[in-house]
Structure 1
Amino acid sequence: MLPAATEPALRESWRFFVHLAVVLVPLFIGGSFLVGLAEEYLPPEAVERKLRGHDEGAGNVLAAGFGAVTPFCSCSTVPALAGLLQAGAPLGLAFSFLLASPLVNEIAVILLLGVFGLKLTAVYVVTTFTAAVGGGIAIGRLGLGDHVKDVQGLTGGTDAAAAGVATDGGTVECGSSCSTPVQRSHRTRVGTAARGAWSFFVDTLPYLLVGMTVGALIHGVVPVAVVQRVLGPENPLAVPLAALAGAPIYVSMSGMLPIAASLSEQGVPVGTVLAFVIGGAGVSIPNLVLLTKLFERRLLLVYAGTVVAIGATLGVLFNAVFV
């Protein structure tokens, strides 16, 4: 027999869990399908090739744009980043790509749309994209290029054309040994993306369930006063605390957004919630572990500090605008 006060809290947690499932699961599957299409038409090696030779400014905008529309996971982003650096791309341009990739990717945007609505999501996309461009330019001017490790062996797609594998547009590019290009049909690409979306959903479902469970328990069981005391507007350190707290909690965006939705429902200001999401997505433990293969400690600290600064700055801005 549960205590009298516990049963209503658990019922409320279950109600919120169902609400999150109804809203987020279809969005996640749809977002995963768009991710699959993006990777079918724009694989990492094509991104590397298109970004080579661009300079500061327009190159940072282009790099952030590719980072936003090519939602590679960390295991693909880091080799693509290594390929850019090995090909001689400026460090600042590579950083714009690296900053935009986790913060402005399709799944994050679609889930934010379901949680916070069109207006706030649009402002989020514009501000994080601008921050990725500006952050890359600023880091590029610090002269930290000698803190990049030897990237040989980390590049996954730089030799794709030479090996005769599909690069941009699905056509096999090769040397004189190849006589007939192979073109995959749009129907084949869509089918591959659909199968990949379902497979990705099945693989990610445990994280999504954990995130929804934690979010539901925060919503139904944790007293609002406790959440407000730690992350509410009366705590002057709430925004930077949220940006830092996201990193150890983050496993995947699918698990992060249900917790963010719950915090928002508990009255946590939207900027504080987004600082939590940005900090987690950009400075997640898996992401940092992979980046240690590419960056020396000083450059890794610069990256982590930049992400936390972006999260804290945008958090304060959103709290001021979306009262």
Structure 2
Amino acid sequence: MFDVIMISKEFLSLVTHLLLLFVAISFLISFLQAYVPFEKIEKWMQSQNPLVGNVAGAILGFVTPFCSCSTIPLLITMLNRQVPFQTVMTYLFTSPLLDPWIIGLMAYIYGIKVTVIYTITTFVFSMIIGWYLDKKGYKNQVKNVIVKATLLNQDEQPRRHLVLNIKESIKETMNLIRSVLPYILIGAFVGAIIKEVIPTQVLTFISNQNQWWVIPLAAIIGVPLYIRLSTMLPIAQSLLVSGFPIAPTMALLIGGAGASLPEVIMLKSIFRPKLIRAFVGSVFLIATFSGYLFLLLEG
């Protein structure tokens, strides 16, 4: 028999903490975005130096906390402006995985050390994969389609007026809450069930297995889930609290969140199947590599 009261309490606790952090972090990020030099970042992305362009693409993915509905149009804008393909792909990987408010929540839930390792690993590995896909000629897997695009910088100069910036930041935060709330609620609900319902013996059994094969298995399970990080974080937190090891937890987290279902569906309109498969496979590699890294650091 499930303990409905305990599940409800855990659910409310997760939702309350996550929403409070979400509001605070989202407002801060939105406020600071007005001072991000997007024009310079765009110039760096178009640099003839591959490393400079790749780093700029990774940075753009970090400083733009967009949902898929904004990520894909911006991706198309970059392709239309002839931004190097490897830079575009690097941005595509870092955009969902290095969302600033996700990084803030991760620091609160898992601590600074885990968050720093996750950020650096994802940042570097995304650039490597972007470079590799470019070298292997995946650019020709982009369809010739015309979709409404989005600009990198829109009216950021006027927003540097303090009062206007505060008002706009509050407005953007409320909009983000409306878009993310369903995913947080789902994640908190699943997390509460995991913590209160899954027998400890099951997680202990998994923990006692050789994590060198548990990690890729966790990544394989995670990738087809196509769950947003805002949903995966409370689920992963509940797994950790219940005794599940950090290494396979991170593999599951990254694998499940690296390619959300809405994003993959939208990408099908501009990418051919070969590039879609390469994208999903790359997410699996990032998830597995990160899991092994955490395992080595734990040892």
Q: Identify whether the pair has TM-score above 0.5, normalized to the shorter chain.
A: yes
Give the direction of change, closer, same or farther, for the CA distance of 1:91–1:248 in structure 2 (3 Å limit): same
Kindly report which structure 2 residues correspond to 1:127-206, keeping only aligned pairs within 5 A, or say none: 127-157=121-151, 167=154, 169-170=156-157, 185-206=161-182
Partner of 1:289: 265
Counterpart of 1:96 in structure 2: which amino acid? T
- Tell me, yes or no, if the aligned pair for 1:45 and 1:157 is still in contact at 8 Å: no
Using the alignment, how far apart are the partners of 2:179 and 2:103 within structure 1? 20
The residue matched to 1:150 in structure 2 has which SS? coil
Q: Percent identity?
A: 32
2:281 pairs with 1:305: yes
Give me the whole-angstrom Cα distance separating, in 2, the residues matched to 1:51 and 1:34.
Answer: 25
Partner of 2:243, secondary structure, is coil
Aligned to 1:217: 193
What is the root-mean-square deviation in Å for CA atoms of aligned residues?
2.6
> Any stretches of 5+ residues in structure 1 without a counterpart?
159-165, 172-182
User: In 1, are the aligned partners of 2:33 and 2:63 still within 8 Å (CA)?
Assistant: no
Q: Structure 2: how far apart are the matches of 1:42 and 1:50?
A: 14
Moved over 6 A (4+): 43-46
Q: Does 1:244 align with 2:211?
A: no
Moved more, 249-258 or 130-139: 249-258
More off after superposition, 236-245 vs 261-270: 236-245
Alignment equivalent of 1:106, drawn from 92, 100, 108:
100
| Structure 1 position 154, deviation (Å) | 4.0
> 1:261–1:11: structure 2 CA closer, same or farther, 3 Å change rule?
same
Which region of structure 1 is more displaced relative to structure 2, 21-30 or 10-19?
10-19
Q: Which amino acid aligns with 1:170?
A: Q
For 1:137, the aligned partner's letter is: W
Distance 1:62 1:313 in 2: 23
Structure 2: distance between partners of 1:112 and 1:63: 22
Bigger radius of gyration:
1
User: Gaps (5+ residues) in structure 2?
Assistant: none
Contact 1:233–1:268, Cα closer than 8 Å, also in 2: no
Shift of 1:92: 0.9
Q: Deviations over 1:8-49 (max 9, x none)?
A: xx4543443344234322111122213433554559888656
**Are the structure 2 counterparts of residues 40 and 280 from structure 1 closer, same or farther at C-alpha, using a change threshold of 3 Å?**
farther
Q: Distance in 2 between matches of 1:79 and 1:43?
A: 20
Q: For residue 169 of structure 1, give the secondary structure of its aligned residue in structure 2.
A: coil
**TM-score normalized with structure 2 length:** 0.89
8 Å CA contact retained: 1:48, 1:80: no
> Bigger shift: 55-64 or 239-248?
239-248
8 A Cα contact 1:112 1:257, kept in partner:
yes
Q: Deviations 1:269-313 (Å, cap 9, x if unpaired)?
A: 112111112112212211111111121111111111111101011
- The equivalent position to 2:52 in structure 1, one of 58, 80, 90, is 58
Partner of residue 257, structure 1: 233
Give how far 1:231 is off. 6.8
Choose the corresponding residue for 1:94, options 60, 85, 88: 88
Task: After superposition, give the CA deviation of every residue in 1:169-203 in whole Å (9 maximum; x if it has no partner).
Answer: 336xxxxxxxxxxx762321221111221332244
Q: Report if aligned partners of 2:44, 2:52 keep a CA contact under 8 Å in 1.
A: no
Shift of 1:131: 0.9
TM-score scaled to structure 1, two decimals? 0.83
1:136 is matched by which residue type in structure 2? G
